[in-house]
Amino acid sequence: MAAMVRKQIYISERQKALLKRLAEQRGVSQAEVVRQAIDHEFARAEAWEEAKRFMRSLDERTGEFKEPLRWRREDAYEERLSRYDR
């Protein structure tokens, strides 16, 4: 296990009750629930940053396309639906 650093935080009574309930449900310590929450939040933030980078890269490529993208909902499902047309 990685070296642990002690941190002291203030939470509301409601958060205290939620933290206790989550720890009991998961069978882990309250500290472990806090650590998991920090890891989860960081992963979520990283995923959002990656999505934004991808969207920006698409935005930078707009000059590559000669015509605007045109599509119909039916086109999006054509391949999938063709599997059932037997």
Domain ranges of the chain: 30-61
pTM above the 0.75 mark? no
For residue 71, the model assigns a pLDDT of: 77
Helices 30-60 and 13-26 pack at an angle, to 10 degrees, of: 100
Average pLDDT per consecutive 10 residues, the chain (86 residues; last block may be shorter): 90 97 98 96 91 86 73 77 72
Sign of CA dihedral 15, 17, 21, 27: positive
For residue 86, the model assigns a pLDDT of: 55
